[in-house]
Amino acid sequence: MSDCKTLGIGLAGFGTVGSGVWNTIEKNGELISERTGKDVSLGITKILVRDRNKTRATKSAVPKEILTTDWHELVQDPSVDIVVELIGGTTDAFEIVAASLLAKKPVVTGNKALLAERGVELFAISRKMATPIFFEAAIAGGIPIVKTVQDSFVGNQIHSFTGIINGTSNYILEQMTLRGIDYPTALQEAQDLGYAEADPALDVNGWDAAHKAILLATLAYGFPIDPQNIYVTGIEQVRPADINFSKSLGYVIKLLAIVRERECGAVELRVQPSFISNKHILAAVNGVFNAVAVNADAAGESLFYGAGAGQGPTASSVVADLVEAARAFTHTSRHRGFLPYRESGTLVPIEETTTAYYVRLDVTDQIGVVASIANVLAKHEIGISGTHSPVDSTNPDAEFVDMVFLLHTCPFGQLTKALQEIEALDCINSAPVVFRIENLG
């Protein structure tokens, strides 16, 4: 810390969120200083950019002399006390965060992929160097769920999280539901509006939500989780027919992240499109908003709702972590990073998770199709609660049709084995599409 007690911030990345952090500190710097402690203020002293000559979308001019294209220069700059990593990815970002921790400079990051995939390494460095990592912005944008779990729920055993934690997928599903448009059209509109990236893969394939769910689970249950060990599917296969069928049954389709501790202590963690009752509170979470429902033993049921992304909400979380990092300089008792309290834990194998299911099959329209499929399901002791074959009004004479089966609750592994046999039938033309039917209470 300098003699004037101003903590210098090094911003690694100056895109949407980085410029939002600059704007927030410029606008509310005095207020932030008062809330941090009157003897401490925050100032941005170095910014890592790709192009020093690019015009910046900030409300006040950024001095060119504080810009650099070399991250080593940012980390090594003696005026930088705290490093904020906002470049994304898991390669250069890892190098920046690791180097910062080794230099005993606290890190603030919103990089959920980095922490989910390489957090074990970074948190080990954090512990070794007694230097914290703060990551409120990594989960659900402006919703303060990380501090809530770390602080407000510190005396609770958390039974579960159920979350809608990807705004892009939520927006796409909402538009398909409200307007009857198909997935490609809804995705293109999301991109046109800036809700989806040019490459939307992580949003729509479920992995953005999965990275956040991994962090929530690690916070709550105290052991590192390998992303390769969790089950993730996205919304790419959702069709208007699925949306319409869910509505007729009183459901909506949402991309859900489920984190749940079993009685044996093992943790169930999965992300997939799911049918949920249209009367459940999460059914009303629309647009690009996020929500996380938490069930804890002492606090009971809680719901956290808000903007899950965007410049303002994410910058708000980053600045909150900056204040926390600043306080750690002057109040060592407040120092904390991510400190797992269990070396290992157990994930519930996806095959052992149980729900009811909606299964859509592309079948050849011929006599005996339903009976053939039903025989396989019966062989595997899976009950059928309903069947349906929606008529394509544009092509009533189609040779191939969709056949929908609603199945009773059973282990997912049991269903998988049955569907492997069903897919091998001559009347089946493509891989079955499976959505879970969640009973959220």
Calculate the alpha carbon distances from 351 to 231, 370, 435 in Å: 10, 25, 15
DSSP-derived 3-state class of residue 433: strand
Residues 11, 45 contacting (CB under 8 angstroms):
no
Residues 171, 192 contacting (CB under 8 angstroms):
no
Residues 400, 436 contacting (CB under 8 angstroms):
no
Distance (Å, whole) CA 336 – CA 331 = 11
Q: How far is CA 173 from the centre of its chain?
A: 16
Q: Which amino acid is at 91?
A: T
Distance (Å, whole) CA 405 – CA 390 = 11
Distance (Å, whole) CA 425 – CA 137 = 48
Q: From 149, 155, 126, select the one nearest 328 (Cα to Cα).
A: 126
How many C-beta atoms lie closer than 10 Å to residue 395's C-beta? 10
Q: Which amino acid is at 224?
A: P
Calculate the alpha carbon distances from 53 to 13, 67, 84, 184, 316 in Å: 15, 9, 21, 37, 27
Q: Kindly give, in sequence order, each residue whose CB lies less than 8 Å from that of residue 19, ignoring residues fewer than 6 positions away.
A: 56, 57, 58, 311
Q: Which of the residues 212, 247, 254, 279 is marked catalytic?
A: 212
| C-alpha Rg value of the chain to the nearest Å | 24
How many C-beta atoms lie closer than 10 Å to residue 349's C-beta? 14
Tell me the torsion sign for CA atoms 205, 16, 283, 242: negative
Beta-strand relationship, 82-85 and 6-12: parallel
CA atoms within 13 A on the CB side of 299: 19
Determine whether 212 is an active site residue. yes
For 183-236, the DSSP string reads HHHHHHHHHHTTSS-SS-HHHHTSHHHHHHHHHHHHHHH-S---GGGSEE--ST
Distance (Å, whole) CA 119 – CA 116 = 6
Q: Could you give the residue numbers annotated as active site?
A: 212
